[in-house]
Amino acid sequence: MNTHDTAAGAAPEGELLAARGLAKSFGPTTALHNASFDIDPGEMVAVMGASGSGKTTLLHCLGGMLHPDRGRIHYRGRDLTALSESQRSGLRREEFGFLFQSGGLVPELSCLENTALPLRLNGVRRKSAHRSAEEWLERLGVDGTAHQRPGEVSGGEYQRIGLARALITEPAILFADEPTGAVDSLNEEKVMRLLVDAARRSSTAVVLVTHEARVAAYADREVTVRDGRTRDLVQGGAE
Amino acid sequence: MSFAHTVLGLLENGPAHGYDLKRVYDQHFGQDRPLHYGQVYAALARLLKKGLIEVAGTEQGDGPERKRYAITDSGVTDLHTWLGTPEAPQQYLQSTLYTKVVLALLAGRPAADVLEVQRSAHLKSMRELTRRKTEGDLAEHLICDHALFHLEADLRWLELTAARLDELATEVNR
Amino acid sequence: MSGQAARRGPTGPLRWVREVALGVRMSVSGGRDSWVRLALIATAVGAAVALLLGAASTPTLMDARAERDEARSYDQTQSIPEPSADTLLVGYADSDYFERGIVGRVLVPEGPRAPAPPGVDEVPGPGEMVVSPALKRLLESPEHRLLRERLDYRIVGTVDPEGLLGPHEPAYYAGADKSELSPAMSMVTRIDDFGAERRESEPSPAILLLVLVGASVALLPLGVFVAAALRFGSDKRDRRIAALRLLGADRWTAGRIACGEAVIGALAGIAAGVALFLPLREVVSPMRPGGIDVFAADIVPHPVLAVVVCFGVVALAVGVTLVSTARAATDPLGVTRRAARPRRRLWWRAALTAAGAALLAPMATAGDEFAGGSESLQAAAGLVLLLLGAGALTPWLFQVVVSRARRGGVAWLLAVRRLRADGAAETRAVTGVAVAVAGVIALQSLFAGVAERFDNPEPMNPGMPPYTARVNAQDPSAAEGTAERLRSVPQVRDVRTVVEYQRVEGPDGSLAMRVGGCDALRQYARIGTCSDGDVFVGEDGAAPAAPAAPGDRLRVLGTGEAASWTLPGSTRAVPLSETARQDPANAVVGVLATPGAVAEAGLPGSVVRASFDVAPATPRAVEEVRTAVRELGPTATVTANTMPGNVQVIDSLRGLLTALVAASLGVIGLGLLISTVEQLREGRQALALLAASGVRGRTLAASVLYQSAIPLAAGLLVAAAMGTVLGGLLLRMLDYPVEFDPVAIAVTAGAAAAVVLGVTLLSLPALARLVRPDNLRAE
């Protein structure tokens, strides 16, 4: 297990994504104070914290959805905070995948179309996008839902479709925000196992935001966010 | 948990030798520690004495004599009662960890570190259990889950206590 | 990743098309809800488009009318052709019948190839006539016996639509004997073909302004309304856009996808509008809303305007979408979190209003009257900006009201909190109403001012008697018969007749001559003492000398042989009367002679002009006079000495605009109903939750009512203020006194309130259905 220094400084070599000294406020509320984060290619890191601790804001900053007030985020050596909005959009589209608690599936599209959406946003032709979406749905065991709408499938299936959609572009990083927040324990396990399995197979790094230890336990290590600050877990005691 | 009741439950499937009982037990429950024969025979002796089982036959072999045991009607009734009685939920009213935290607070040591170290250990253990369960079969899976849920409960207590440390400190140092 | 670049599809337009197509797909593939939403948009936009297409038909309609009008006209200024087998004598024989103008011509073919007027197969023979269907209906009904007596011809056919301006126009063509018409007669001419160019008269500035205001008032709310309708269900769309943005669609891609969704709504709306327009125009013709008399076939949208309407709707859809999704596109996280919306700002709303006022103010304060031309453009721009300002200020005021609202009952609390949280949809719907009401109030003020001036027409010529009859006579002695016939009609008083010769050639040019008794001649000049045998020459104060002097030899032309006559030595020069000087028709200075003076001259026949009064001037008595006069000749007419035209124009304009505004409000009402139901549908889970937790249905209904009533109150407040200001500005532009009619304003506001509240009541059944517990389930 790697030991990461949380002190400010240049991002170490070989890291996929590294953030230093992030701060973000929404009006009077400070969501991030001084947060840092690193992840290696293929690594799976859980971001834990109580609700309101700022973990989702951290995820949004890391995923290029939010622009931090202060701090730097480097992705493969590129400074995310220096990119234009459309460059960040492109990065999100092509190199990042997202899985949200509420799934974020477009209710008007069929599950197949939802899955194919990121590819189609990248300009891939409908036919080949759908072919690839079918493969992914099958791989995650939800190929039966292809022509149903997201509103018609069960919670577990919904998240698996969301996972298929997040992974269809074979992203370098998957950002998962409470991916099992809305499903029961049994489905939680199915979703997590599929997630871990798929991520390992395509050596996708995973940033897993969760407040549940059982979910975090699937990760390689944990980062805790408390009051907008990050701290890597003390590797004492057991080691 | 009563070990004798486990033996009784295994015998309900049909008469068995002491050796068979040990093997079946190990198969289902003995992941961590295999049984000693002595434990089996001690349990059988106790059950015989209570009349919950009887000797169904004896086979003379090369080694020691081998008795086949069978469950009696009163044994079936007893097993039924046991299965139907809920286990008393364990109450961890005194825990070592709590003692540690209070002692740290009294001594003016960083109690948060005590909790943090424990949290880390718990999480590490949970990660290992998770790995084990993803690799193992269903039985392994269920057992790991049981442990995981318990560890998770501990973790929640750790987090809650961490959030209330200041409160606790004023109370303890009053 | 290197593989990513290779997988990238095409860029540029092709990709855009795909993105728009994706939007289209999303807007139609959301199952029942999507279709309902699309149907709602299509209905609302369709209703507006149908109305706009109707308005866009006005130019074609006017052209078609003008074309047919020209086709049946004939040129009287051109030289008269020689009689031949191709020629036709036409006498002007229009008549008025109880406020209805009847178009009439008397025809005498001079040969076998004489032309027939448009819509008439064959020129009717003497004593026969062809009539329009509308006149036929009039003549057939027993209550119009008086008219039947007046048009005492045998009906032998009908005038086809091509010879009529509208299906309800009363018109006839009568045949006459050769002896009854002569091209020398007044209002009679010889033609070899029908068809003439007619010059349009410039509309009066007041009427131009009325048309401008009216068109803005009637059409602008439709635009606002279409913009609102296109945003039905936009909450969901915003969430969709936000989801796409989070997936990595950039702002423009998201915008294009949203546009795809909006465009499909706009296109469906246009299709619905066309589908609605076709049957609607068939209805307009027989229903005559606002007194419009048009053929359904003439209601064809002007191609350019039709394209403008269609493109306008699509462009509006795109524009509205880009503006309304801007938030979702720039701050997708805010939308998914459903964070509070930014406060509405006052400055641009006030700026819009101020710009409008600034455009109108110089015209209002300048001393001269509104002149049309480039000023109409400025006026229209100012109007539109002010009205849009009313629409823009409404949401702002609404927000102020809601944020200041103090506590009340549970229903009030629920409504205010709901409105404070969002309220965008509610205000959008009411904005159209605010614009419409502001416009209507302005229009009413303007109408009140203009109508006051036109509704009390002064006599055109104060000194002249109120009625004049003109009869073409073959013989000067017909003056006697005319006078007698008139006197025989009850209620006719004060009959004075002259024979008018408009073409008299003297040594110094042409002049006019009137022969009549002393009494009758006094209308034209201050002749002093007079007895039969006297002759006078009118002398205009401005002209240095009389146009004729004693001893001048005059050649008098009329019907039949021209005659020569020498002015006797006793001829006196007399000053013209005040009334004669003011009346442009009498401005030709001329000779005034008593019958005794010309008895020996053998003068030809000419127009007998009889002036008289009808007392009491009941409409029935006037019609009886007209019928009596028509006995004296097919081209004999009676005219009233009042300002013609404008009253009718104002009335028909008022009717037309009232119809348009009513239709506009109707469409908006429909849209409100749709949007209220739509909002209820969107909020059904919350409503069902409230109902499930024991909130009474009555309370919920009251809260829904408040939710419509609060934005409405804000809208009406803005509208009343804006409308009065605008009305004042418009009246000032015409230099009319600024007055307001509080009752009319209250009635207008009340009508708008009734529309909104009625709509809310209509939506209550939907509410009852929506609060059923099965809606608790999430979508």
Q: Does A35 touch chain B (CB under 8 A)?
A: no
Residue % of chain C over a pLDDT of 90: 5
Q: Does C234 touch chain A (CB under 8 A)?
A: no
Which of C593, C627, C642 terminates a domain? The answer is C642
Q: Tell me the pLDDT of chain A (239 aa) as tens digits.
A: 344 443 444 444 568 899 988 888 887 888 888 888 999 998 999 998 877 788 888 888 898 888 889 899 999 888 888 888 778 888 888 889 888 876 678 777 788 988 988 888 777 888 888 999 999 999 888 888 888 888 888 888 888 899 998 889 889 999 998 888 777 888 888 889 889 988 888 889 999 999 888 899 999 988 888 877 877 654 433 33
In this predicted structure, the answer to whether residue C777 has a pLDDT above a threshold of 60 is no
Q: According to the 3-state scheme, what is the secondary structure of C153-220?
A: CEEEEECCHHHCCCCCCCEEEEECCCCCCCCCCCCEEEECCCCCCCCCCCCCHHHHHHHHHHHHHHHH
Residue pLDDT, tens place only, C493-518: 888 888 988 888 888 777 888 898 88
Contacts by C58-67 with C-beta closer than 8 Å and gap 24+?
A: C58/C302, C59/C302, C59/C305, C60/C298, C60/C299, C60/C300, C60/C301, C60/C302, C61/C294, C61/C298, C61/C299, C61/C300, C64/C295, C64/C298, C65/C165, C65/C166, C65/C294, C65/C298, C66/C198, C66/C200
Residues of chain C positioned with their CB less than 8 A from the CB of A93: 247-250
In this predicted structure, the answer to whether residue C172 has a pLDDT above a threshold of 90 is yes
Contacts by B89-93 with C-beta closer than 8 Å and gap 24+?
A: none
Residue C8 lies in a domain: no
Q: What is the pLDDT of residue C779?
A: 40
Mutate to test the interface with A, among B115, B118, B119, B125 (most CBs of A within 10 A): B119
Residue C214 lies in a domain: yes
- Answer yes or no: are the C-beta atoms of C510 and C547 closer than 8 Å: no
Q: What is the pLDDT of residue A238?
A: 31
Are C132 and C51 found together in one domain?
no
DSSP for C634-678? TT-EEEESB--SHHHHHHHHHHHHHHHHHHHHHHHHHHHHHHHHH
Q: C240: distance to nearest CA of chain A, Å?
A: 6
Name the pLDDT band for C470 (thresholds 50, 70, 90): confident
**How far is residue A184 from each of residues A159, B56, C229, C775, measured CA to CA in Å?**
11, 48, 41, 23
Name the pLDDT band for C45 (thresholds 50, 70, 90): confident
How many CB pairs below 8 A link A and C?
97
In this predicted structure, the answer to whether residue C757 has a pLDDT above a threshold of 50 is yes
Least confident span in C92-101, C175-184, C553-562, C586-595: C586-595
Q: Does C30 touch chain A (CB under 8 A)?
A: yes
What residue segments make up the domains of chain B, in order of their start?
A: 3-84, 96-172
Residues contacting residue C82 through CB under 8 Å, at least 6 positions apart: none
Residue pLDDT, tens place only, C300-312: 888 888 898 889 8
Would you identify the CATH topology of the domain A17-227?
Rossmann fold (3.40.50)
Are C165 and C216 found together in one domain?
no
Structure letter (DSSP) for residue C126: B
Residue C485 lies in a domain: yes
What residue segments make up the domains of chain A, in order of their start?
A: 17-227
Which of C191, C218, C249 terminates a domain? The answer is C191
Q: How far apart are CA C31 and CA C233, in angstroms?
A: 14
Name the pLDDT band for C365 (thresholds 50, 70, 90): confident
Token digits for C533? Answer: 């045998």
Are C88 and C147 found together in one domain?
yes
Residue C9 lies in a domain: no
- Find the helix packing angle between C646-682 and C205-229, rounded to 10°: 10
Q: What is the pLDDT of residue C423?
A: 62
- Domain with C724 in it: 16-61+203-455+647-776
Are C608 and C624 found together in one domain?
yes
Least confident span in C168-177, C398-407, C465-474, C709-718: C398-407
Domain B3-84 annotated CATH 1.10.10.10: yes
Q: What is the pLDDT of residue C582?
A: 67
Contact call for C247 and A93, based on CB within 8 A: yes
Domain count for chain C: 3
Which of C642, C671, C696 terminates a domain? The answer is C642
- Cβ burial, residue C345 (10 Å; 0-12/13-18/19+): exposed
Interface of A with C (CB under 8 A): 60, 65-66, 85-86, 89-96, 98, 100, 102, 104-110, 113, 117-125, 149, 151, 165, 169-170, 172
Are C179 and C234 found together in one domain?
no
Structure letter (DSSP) for residue C466: S
Contact call for B152 and A233, based on CB within 8 A: no
In this predicted structure, the answer to whether residue C173 has a pLDDT above a threshold of 90 is yes
For β-strands C572-575 and C535-539, DSSP reports them as: parallel
AA identity, residue C261: E
Residues of chain B positioned with their CB less than 8 A from the CB of A214: 126, 130, 148-149, 152
Residue pLDDT, tens place only, C655-695: 776 777 777 777 777 777 777 777 777 677 677 777 776 67
Are C109 and C45 found together in one domain?
no
* Most confident among C214-218, C275-279, C342-346 (mean pLDDT): C275-279
Per-residue buried b or exposed e for C101-118, using 16+ beta carbons within 10 Å of the residue's own CB: ebbbbbbbbbeeebbbbb
Residue pLDDT, tens place only, B71-116: 898 888 888 888 777 766 666 655 777 777 877 787 777 888 888 8
In this predicted structure, the answer to whether residue C372 has a pLDDT above a threshold of 70 is no
Least confident span in A170-184, C69-83, C571-585: C571-585
- Answer yes or no: are the C-beta atoms of A113 and A164 closer than 8 Å: no
Do chains C and B have 3 or more beta-carbon pairs under 8 angstroms? Answer: no
- Name subunits touching C (3+ CB pairs < 8 A): A
Residues of chain A positioned with their CB less than 8 A from the CB of C779: 107, 151
Contact call for A196 and B117, based on CB within 8 A: no
Are C402 and C509 found together in one domain?
no
Residues contacting residue C315 through CB under 8 Å, at least 6 positions apart: none
CB atoms inside a 10 Å sphere around CB C298: 21
Residue C5 lies in a domain: no
Q: How far apart are CA C500 and CA C187, in angstroms?
A: 13
Q: Does A222 touch chain B (CB under 8 A)?
A: yes
ipTM: 0.75
- Could you say which of A100, A109, A170 has the minimum Cβ distance to residue C26? A109
Are C549 and C667 found together in one domain?
no
Are C234 and C312 found together in one domain?
yes
Token digits for C154? Answer: 């045998």
Token digits for C428? Answer: 């959008």
- Could you say which of A91, A104, A149 has the minimum Cβ distance to residue C246? A104
For chain C, the C-alpha Rg in angstroms (whole number) is 35
Mean pLDDT, chain C, rounded, equals: 79
